[in-house]
Chains A and B, each alone.
Chain A
Amino acid sequence: MSQIDSKIPEGPLAEKWTNYKAHQKLVNPANKRKLDIIVVGTGLAGASAAASLGEMGFHVINFCIQDSPRRAHSIAAQGGINAAKNYQNDGDAVYRLFYDTIKGGDYRAREANVYRLAEVSAAIIDQCVAQGVPFAREYGGMLANRSFGGVQVSRTFYAKGQTGQQLLLGAYSSLMKEVNNGTVELHTRTEIEDIVVIDGRCRGVIAKNLVTGKLERYSAHAVCLATGGYGNTYFLSTNAMGCNCTAAIQAYRKGAYFANPCFVQIHPTCIPVHGDKQSKLTLMSESLRNDGRIWVPKKLEDAQKLQRGEIKGRDIPEEDRDYYLERRYPAFGNLVPRDVASRAAKERTDAGYGVNNTGLAVFLDFSEAFERLGRQRVDERYGNLFDMYQEITDVDPHDNPMMIFPAIHYTMGGLWVDYELETSITGLFALGECNFSDHGANRLGASALMQGLSDGYFVIPYTMQNYLADQIQVPRFSTDLPEFEEAEKAVQAEIDRIYNIKGDESVDSIHKKLYHIMWDYVGMARNAEGLKKALSMLKDLRKEFDEHVRIPGAKEGLNVELDKAIHLRDFITMGELIAYDALERNESCGGHFREESQTEEGEAKRDDENYMYVACWKYAGSDEKAPELLKENLDYQYIKVQVRNYKK
Chain B
Amino acid sequence: MRKLSKRFDICLSGNKAPENCDIRYRQFYWLMVFDEAGELRGACKLGEQLSVVIKQGFDVPNGFVELVEQSMRSKSSVQELQRNYIKSGGSLASYETLCAKVQEVHGVGQMAVSTFLEESRSKVEDPVLTGARSLWMEADACSHQVINHAAFSRVRNRLVEFIGEHPKHPFTRRLLEPLVDSLKYSFDVEAKCRAYVDAWADRSDSGIHDELIAALSKRSSAWCEIALKELGELEGHSYQRLRLLAQIGDADGVLKALEATKSFGVMRPFHEEWRREAKAKATGNK
Q: Do A and B come from one complex?
A: no
